[in-house]
Amino acid sequence: ADFCYDRYYCSSYSWGEKFPACHPVNGIHHSPINLDGNMTRNKSLEEIHLIGFDKAPPGQWKLRNTGYSVVLDLGSNLAVHGGGLPGTYRTVQLHFHWGDSTMNGSEHTVNGRRYPMEMHIVSIKSIYQNLTEAMHDPSGLAVLGVFIDVGDLDNENFTVISNLVPSVAYKGKSVAMKPFPLLNLLPAQNMSRFYRYHGSLTTPPCSQIVMWTVYEVPIYVSQQQIDAFAAGIYYSEEGANKTLLQRNFRHIHETFTREVYASRD
Ligand code: BO1
Ligand code: ZN
C-alpha cells in the first residue's frame, strides 16, 4: 500500500518520508488539530447552506472500501455554500474515520477528547473539475466534519450505511446504495455551531487546501454500529491474510499561528 495507519513503520508519523507534504515541518496548515471548546465566537459565521441534502437525489450511490476508509460516492446533485466559505462547493463523497475502541477514532479532538468516529463530507470548489485542479487553491476543498458518539440506541438513519458495511469488508469491494437525504446523517440541532479553520487533507498527499468545518454537536449511533466499522472492515483484499483496518485517523498537528473560528454562541 501507499501508506497505512497504526504500525510504526507506516503510521501517520512516518508519512512524510514518502510524502514530503505530510511532514509536519512543511507548512503550518496540517490537519487534524485539537479544537478548544472555550474559544471566542464569531457571530458573523452563518450556518452553511446544504443544497440538496434534504431530499434523496436520483440515481445510485456507491459505498466502497478503499483500504484506508469506507467511502460513499455521492453523485453530482449536492453542494454547499455560505457559512463563510469562499464560493460554492460540489459535494462528491463522504467517508469515515474510526478507532479500535470507543476511546478513540475521531481525527479532530475537542479539549483533548477523541470521539469514537468522525464522518467527513468532502466538497470541491465548483470552479474546478476535479481534485487535481483544486490542489492549487488553498481553499480548493471544503470538508464538513461530524463527530460520531456512542449512544444506547441504533441510529435508524445510520443503519442504511452500517447494514451495508459487511458487503465492503475487504479492500476493493463496492456496493450500490439507494440515495437518501444526507441531512439524516447530520446533527438534528445546533448546526449553526461549528469550528472553522484552514487545514489539510488528513491522508497523503496531505495537501493544505481544505476549509475545515467541524460541527460541535455529535450524532449518536450504537456500539454495534461502530463495531460494523471497527471490527468489520479490513485493509486486506478478500482471500489474503485478514488485517482489520482500525485507527484510521492521523495524529494531531499544531495550530501554530492559525485562527480557529467558532461560530455563534
Ligand atoms: S479528508 O477529508 O481530509 N480525510 C480527505 C483526505 C483525502 C481525500 C479526501 C478527503 N482524498 C481524495 C482522493 C481523491 C478524490 C478526492 C475527492 O478525495 O484521494 O481520489 O478524488 O473524493
Ligand atoms: Zn477524512
CA of 178 to the centre of ligand 2 (A): 22
Rounded to two decimals, what is the model's pTM? Answer: 0.98
What does pLDDT average to over the chain? 96
> Do 233 and 173 touch, CB atoms closer than 8 A?
no
pLDDT at 99 over 60: yes
Cell representation of residue 214: 467541524
Which numbered atom of ligand 1 lies nearest the CA of 71?
Answer: 22
DSSP 4: -
Alpha-carbon dihedral sign for residues 210, 22, 112, 218: positive
CA of 129 to the centre of ligand 2 (A): 20
Cβ–ligand 1 contact at 131 (below 6 Å): yes
Cβ–ligand 1 contact at 203 (below 6 Å): yes
Which numbered atom of ligand 1 lies nearest the CA of 107?
Answer: 4
Cβ–ligand 1 contact at 221 (below 6 Å): no
Cβ–ligand 1 contact at 120 (below 6 Å): yes
Best residue among 126, 130, 201 to mutate for probing ligand 1's pocket (most ligand atoms within 8 Å of CB) is: 201
In this prediction, residue 265 carries a pLDDT of 65
Which numbered atom of ligand 1 lies nearest the CA of 93?
Answer: 22
Ligand closest to Cα of 200 equals: 1
Dist. CA 73–CA 63, nearest whole Å:
6
ipTM beyond cut 0.85 = yes
Which band of pLDDT confidence, cut at 50, 70 and 90, is reported for residue 2?
confident
Q: What is the pLDDT of residues 131-186, one digit of tens each?
A: 999 999 999 999 999 999 999 999 999 999 999 999 999 999 999 999 999 999 99
Q: What is the pLDDT of residues 122-145, one digit of tens each?
A: 999 999 999 999 999 999 999 999
pLDDT at 1 over 60: no
Kindly report the backbone phi and psi dihedral angles of residue 183, in degrees, each rounded to the nearest multiple of 5, phi listed first: -55, -25
Q: What is the pLDDT of residues 27-79, one digit of tens each?
A: 999 999 999 977 878 888 999 999 999 999 999 999 999 999 999 999 999 99
Tally of CB atoms within 10 A around 146: 24
Q: Which DSSP string do the residues of 189-242 spell out, in sequence order?
A: S-TT-EEEEEE--SSTT--S-EEEEEESSPEEEEHHHHHHHHTT-BSSPTTSPP
